[in-house]
Amino acid sequence: MDSEKRQLHLFFLPFLASGHLIPAIDMAKQFALRGLKISIITTPLNASLFSKTIEKSKTMGLDMNVLVVEFPCIEVGLPIGCESYQLATSLDLRTKFYQATAKLEQPLKKLIQEYAPDCLVASTLLILHSMSFFSMCTAECLRLYEPQKKVSSDAEPFIIPNFPDEIKLTRKQLPDFYTQNVQTYATKLYEQGLEAELTSFGAKVLGRKAWQIGPVSLCNLDAEDKAQRGKEASIDCHECFEWLNSKKPDSVVYVCFGSMANFNDSQLKEIAIGLEASEQQFIWVVRKEKNDGGKEEWLPDGFEQRVKGKGLIIRGWAPQMMILDHEAVGGFVTHSGWNSTLEGVSTGLPMVTWPVSAEQFFNEKFVTQILRIGVAVGAQQWARFVGDSIKSEAIEKAVIRIMVGAEAEEIRSRARELGKRAKKAVEEGGSSYSDLNSLIEELRSHGIAGAASKN
Ligand code: UDP
């Protein structure tokens, strides 16, 4: 068959966590929009979370489908249905979760034999990173030069070697595997991943070539797509939209800490007090369900009454892209997860950075020091499960700094400019658009596994 015409078939195997699945599906859509066939491989629970998105893409004529594989919960001792990383809430459960993930290799191999796709976007042929170049370089410099070992205490700052800017971190802000010197199941998988990357298509053929595609969240153009991203929202999206419509431009701060970060009740109370004291309007996403009539210990007495009309609490999952994109929203308090950060950049918003886990402390440096579109709330301690405690006064001060006054205006104008550049990047002729084209061309011309394809 003429290789120019033959439809390329891509397999996507995203890690089973919202922060990976959401951008992977957005990315998959970008390829499907260029006429490629996409199969997303995932487990039953995760497949149900984005079934609407897949249905919608089909009605738009995109060639996207899902291949479901069972997640071997019972085999490794995980509770049935624990198919998402955020449901693995202890170290033991996380280890088992990684073991179950590793066991997906066999069913994956079977699917590859059956469908003979041209490319696997995951960990063997093409790597999809859901981290920034900045954070990847930081991680690599920590691994290679170990500046964290040359300071005498956990709180003493060290400089990341070989960076053009002076970026300082402390050991407290690093993921524990940099400091504990123990090899966990997760670090082993990470090392295997790194090895796979170095032998991947991008690396082997082209010398670790990278294609800069995104921000992928910008492919969700209509309100329904933005609202349905990731999971079903816990609030009536129309109601939320109406609420925002009643507000002036740039007058609402949106507070959300992604899909994983947890805070204890006393910290949530500090957030409530800080938000109220800032006198700003807000939407605050709290990942706690409302218990039947019982008192919610994390809410200060009479809080919801006092902030009625001024503040909206979403308990559960928020339609984040829809909210960030609304003109009434003028600031974003974020845990600095890379997806949230990119979404904040794409929508031109000043940010309060409040890193908790993963590479979020690196992203904070990028946002506050390099892009200069945010202010740090002051978190000092990296945490696997529960975030560092921050006092209400610090929250109040940081929120005011990005919402009111001359400094806020300066930050906002820089953020707006970046937002415009992000949008340009994904438009026809933009850098992301061209990179996606050249990646597709490379895949075509190398014809990876092409001849055997069943397309
Ligand atoms: N998200 C959302 N609603 C929520 C919480 C999160 O839509 O209530 C989305 C958010 O838009 C982002 C992703 O979930 O795309 C979270 O990814 P990120 O990398 O920011 O953080 P993680 O959850 O991986 O810590």
Contact 169, 158 (CB under 8 A): yes
CA 277 to centroid of ligand 1, rounded, Å = 26
| Average pLDDT over every residue of 333-350 | 97
pLDDT of residue 194: 65
pLDDT above 50 (res 450): no
CA 138 to centroid of ligand 1, rounded, Å = 22
Q: For a substitution probing ligand 1, which of 46, 226, 228, 259 has the most ligand atoms within 8 Å of its CB?
A: 259
Q: For a substitution probing ligand 1, which of 15, 339, 343, 347 has the most ligand atoms within 8 Å of its CB?
A: 339
pLDDT of residue 199: 65
| Average pLDDT over every residue of 92-96 | 95
Question: Backbone phi, then psi, for 435, in 5-degree steps?
Answer: -65, -40
| Average pLDDT over every residue of 81-108 | 95
Could you tell me the pLDDT band of residue 207, with boundaries at 50, 70 and 90? low
pLDDT of residue 4: 55
Least confident of 52-56, 184-188, 273-277, 305-309: 184-188
pLDDT of residue 454: 41
pLDDT of residue 418: 97
pLDDT of residue 455: 38
pTM, full prediction: 0.91
List the residue whose alpha carbon is closest to atom 17 of ligand 1: 19
Q: Which ligand 1 atom is the nearest neighbour of the CA of 22?
A: 15
Could you tell me the pLDDT band of residue 203, with boundaries at 50, 70 and 90? low
| Average pLDDT over every residue of 77-102 | 95
| Average pLDDT over every residue of 114-143 | 81
| Average pLDDT over every residue of 349-374 | 97
Least confident of 23-32, 201-210, 438-447: 201-210
List the residue whose alpha carbon is closest to atom 2 of ligand 1: 320
Q: For a substitution probing ligand 1, which of 234, 289, 340 has the most ligand atoms within 8 Å of its CB?
A: 340
Q: Provide the mean pLDDT of the chain.
A: 90
Q: For 275-300, how does the pLDDT look when each residue is reduced to its tens digit (9 = 90+)?
A: 999 999 999 999 987 776 678 999 99
Q: Which ligand 1 atom is the nearest neighbour of the CA of 320?
A: 7
pLDDT above 60 (res 355): yes
| Cα separation, 133 vs 129, whole angstroms | 9
| Cα separation, 412 vs 402, whole angstroms | 8
Could you tell me the pLDDT band of residue 452, with boundaries at 50, 70 and 90? very low
pLDDT above 90 (res 209): no
| Cα separation, 386 vs 426, whole angstroms | 36
| Average pLDDT over every residue of 423-443 | 93
Peptide bond into 300 cis (omega under 30): no
pLDDT of residue 200: 67
Pick from 85, 50, 95: nearest CA to 68: 50
| Average pLDDT over every residue of 359-376 | 97
pLDDT of residue 1: 45
pLDDT of residue 225: 85
pLDDT of residue 145: 93
pLDDT of residue 335: 98
pLDDT of residue 226: 85
Contact 66, 40 (CB under 8 A): yes
Could you tell me the pLDDT band of residue 126, with boundaries at 50, 70 and 90? low
CA 294 to centroid of ligand 1, rounded, Å = 28
In the chain, the percentage of residues whose pLDDT exceeds 70 is 89
ipTM over 0.95: yes
pLDDT of residue 205: 45
Could you tell me the pLDDT band of residue 124, with boundaries at 50, 70 and 90? very low
List the residue whose alpha carbon is closest to atom 6 of ligand 1: 258
pLDDT above 90 (res 224): no
Could you tell me the pLDDT band of residue 206, with boundaries at 50, 70 and 90? very low
CA 238 to centroid of ligand 1, rounded, Å = 20
- Residues having CB closer than 6 A to ligand 1 are 18-19, 22, 229-230, 256, 258-260, 285, 317-318, 320-321, 337-340, 343
Contact 250, 330 (CB under 8 A): yes
Top-confidence range, 89-98, 180-189, 284-293: 89-98
CA 229 to centroid of ligand 1, rounded, Å = 10
